[in-house]
């Protein structure tokens, strides 16, 4: 086992005032997955799978402690599709921005009405480069 330490730090100076915070979280982990993926133009690509057993290119269900997906492009946006067996949601990542998860569950609702939250296992994450070019993303996961 190892300890993953994640530090998020914001610094801002605006009109002579200083703003910012530092937040630190620690996770006890046994495995790490790290990869840089070049997305193929405007085609959507599966970049991460979740599986009930150990499998190549997959994270084991219910064991995710930390996931970061970073858009490494300085000019192109990236769209993430995060899905389970029955529902999905999308995340738009501007250039040089990141998306974080600390659990491999989701609940999505398109009705707009109040709903009982029912989290389900994420099955896959897909990504698509915006703007017609090839963007790179970095995936870092610990479980």
Condensed to tens digits (0 to 9), the pLDDT of residues 62-83 reads: 999 999 999 999 999 999 999 9
pLDDT at 107: 83
98 or 105, which is more confident:
98
pLDDT of 94 strictly over 90: yes
The alpha carbon of residue 74 and the mean position of all alpha carbons in its chain are separated, in whole angstroms, by 18
CA nearest 47: which of 140, 131, 130, 142? 140
Residue 93 near residue 111, CB atoms below 8 Å: no
Sequence-distant (6+) residues with CB within 8 A of 128 are: 39, 42, 43, 44, 45, 78, 79, 81
Higher pLDDT, 138 or 118: 138
Give the global pTM: 0.91
**How confident is the model over 98-110, as a mean pLDDT?**
88
**Residue 114 pLDDT:** 72
Long-range contact pairs involving 32-36 (C-beta distance under 8 Å, separation at least 24): 32/4, 32/140, 32/141, 32/142, 33/59, 33/139, 33/140, 33/141, 33/142, 33/143, 34/138, 34/139, 34/140, 34/141, 35/138, 35/139, 36/72, 36/136, 36/137, 36/138, 36/139
| Percent of the chain topping pLDDT 70 | 99
Separate counts of helices (H) and strands (E) for the chain? 0, 13
Average pLDDT over residues 98-106: 93
Nearest-angstrom CA–CA distance, 102 and 96? 20
pLDDT tens-place string over residues 43-56:
899 999 999 888 77
As a whole number, mean pLDDT of residues 106-110 equals: 80
């Amino acid at each position: 086992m190892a300890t993953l330490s994640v530090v998020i730090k914001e610094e801002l100076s605006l009109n002579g005032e200083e703003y910012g915070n530092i937040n630190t979280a620690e996770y006890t982990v046994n495995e790490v997955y790290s990869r840089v993926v070049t997305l193929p133009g405007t085609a959507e690509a599966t970049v991460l799978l979740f599986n009930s057993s150990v499998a190549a290119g997959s994270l084991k269900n219910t064991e995710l402690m930390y996931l970061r997906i970073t858009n490494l492009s300085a000019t192109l946006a990236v769209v993430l599709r995060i899905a389970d067996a029955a529902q999905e949601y999308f995340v738009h990542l501007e250039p040089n921005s990141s998306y974080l998860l600390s659990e491999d569950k989701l609940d999505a609702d398109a009705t707009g009405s109040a709903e009982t939250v029912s989290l389900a296992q994420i099955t896959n994450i897909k990504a698509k480069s915006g703007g017609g070019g090839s963007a790179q993303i970095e995936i870092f996961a610990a479980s």
